[in-house]
Amino acid sequence: MFDSLTEKLQSVFARLRGRGRLSEQDIADALREVRLALLEADVNYRVVKDFLESVRQRAKGEDVYESLTGAQTVVRIVHSELAGLLGGSDARMHFAGKGPTVVMLCGLQGSGKTTTCGKLALWMRKQGRHALMVACDVYRPAARRQLEVLGEQLGVPVFGGGDEESPPEIAARAIRHASTHGNDVVIVDTAGRLHIDEQMMAELELLNAAVDPQETLLVVDAMTGQDAVTFAGDFHQRLTVTGFVMTKLDGDARGGAALSIRSATGVPVKFVGIGEKLDNLEAFHPERMASRILGMGDVLSLIEKAEESLDQRKAAEMERRLREDRFDLNDFLEQMQQVRRMGSLEQVIGMIPGMGRLKGAQVDEKAVARQEAIVKSMTADERSDPSIIGGSRKRRIAAGCGMTVQDVNQFLRQFDTMRQMVRQMMGAHRPGPRARLRLPI
């Protein structure tokens, strides 16, 4: 997400850093390029204009000219203003003080409301809450069944009304059901249309009045660009939207909608969808997102993902084995699988400070899958002691994973190099028996 914008902004700031002291003309030229980058990213023109004026005024107010740290100051100002453009502070969910919290999801057809309903239910579980999903889309064929399938996958209950019930009746009954069955969050999945029409808005207004939700979240497809900003304003006028969920942000290299929608409507983005998996929903943090856009990484989100995805007991065991220089291919396979549970490697690498500059280099997810296939084609003894892998074993492994002996040789060399690097970093002065092994390549 934001790849195109990130690349252009990094190029602008790299030229600034290379100039040492900055003149007023240097700042003007840089802001002109920032303006073009934002417009090419499909950011609303008025939003771009106001943003650059804020940056320009702050640059005048701070000593950025004729200073060796002028470029750093400009980057800091742009980062601060970008975070403000995205919303400034984190927008938190509002929960009811008494009774179940009602969250109503609305949006156009195809924006991903039903899938977001499941993702949000999973997010609620991580917060220690117990959600009930409610099927109030009575028009789209199989909409209720889709929600039931998601509920089965997640172990989250789904409430569906009778064939003759209206959405407000279904939702009202679902809230009473939640109150008596221990569900402290009710997520209402509503019907959408291909475009905004009076009938849909009237139905949503009736539903909104019937359930009086604590949160009315508008699900927005980030890839629709400025159209998303337009219809978001229409929804907000009729329903008083409390927050946005930006879906498919991982597929939008420009990100114009995400950068424009807060400023254009005054409503914060609360969640972003960054993938198809049910755990690919993140709470939106403006300052962290600004850091990602500028290629500064996002350490806090990386730590949170690691805490959610990595088994702490296994991590401690892995550290012990590294210190004792007993890291083998079983450990390698376990480590790769845990890292992949955090998301795509490209997303993980993008959160590491400084790695944003490598955005141009494509992360080959298939290469990692091929390495896993090679290890899985080995026996338990071979994973524990790679030195026993001779020519005949290599041929068997290559046949088992559909690759060549050369591929197996290359992987084993890479693994041996990695072990030597780890050994040097960990300072293992008393290696165990396996540390002395040298692979017969």
Q: CA dihedral defined by 280, 345, 310, 275, rounded to 10 degrees?
A: 10
Pairing mode, strands 243-247 and 269-273? parallel
| pLDDT at 224 > cutoff 90 | no
pLDDT tens for 63-100 read 665 555 677 788 888 888 888 888 877 788 999 888 89
The burial class, CB within 10 Å (0-12 / 13-18 / 19+), for 56 is middle
8 A C-beta contact, residue 100 and residue 185 = yes
Phi, psi of 3 (to 5 degrees): -55, -45
| pLDDT at 304 > cutoff 70 | no
Task: Give the range among 32-41, 290-299, 355-364, 410-419 with minimum mean pLDDT.
Answer: 355-364
| pLDDT at 54 > cutoff 50 | yes
Average pLDDT over residues 197-213: 88
Higher pLDDT, 257 or 36: 36
Pairing mode, strands 281-283 and 269-273? antiparallel
Instruction: Provide the token pair at 322.
Output: 């590294």
| pLDDT at 61 > cutoff 90 | no
Spatial distance between the Cα atoms of 210 and 170, rounded to a whole number of angstroms: 10
| pLDDT at 158 > cutoff 90 | yes
Spatial distance between the Cα atoms of 113 and 137, rounded to a whole number of angstroms: 10
Average pLDDT over residues 18-23: 71
Amino acid (1-letter code) at residue 22: L
Task: Give the range among 114-118, 177-181, 419-423 with minimum mean pLDDT.
Answer: 419-423
Domains of the chain: 3-85 (1.20.120.140), 101-296 (3.40.50.300), 304-436 (1.10.260.30)
Q: What is the mean pLDDT of the chain?
A: 81
Would you state the pLDDT for residue 25? 83
Q: Which whole-number Å values give the CA distances from 54 to 41, 190, 343, in the listed order?
A: 19, 39, 35
Average pLDDT over residues 388-414: 92
| pLDDT at 16 > cutoff 90 | no
Average pLDDT over residues 281-304: 74
pLDDT tens for 101-134 read 999 999 988 888 999 999 999 999 999 999 999 9
pLDDT tens for 228-252 read 888 888 888 888 899 999 998 876 6
Highest mean pLDDT (candidates 259-273, 357-371, 410-424) = 259-273
Task: Give the range among 5-9, 302-306, 344-348, 372-376 with minimum mean pLDDT.
Answer: 302-306
Q: Which whole-number Å values give the CA distances from 85 to 139, 237, 268, 286, 334, in the listed order?
A: 37, 21, 10, 8, 41
The percentage of residues in the chain with a pLDDT greater than 70, rounded to a whole number, is 78
Would you state the pLDDT for residue 1? 57
Q: How many CB atoms lie within 10 A of CB 314?
A: 13
The percentage of residues in the chain with a pLDDT greater than 90, rounded to a whole number, is 28
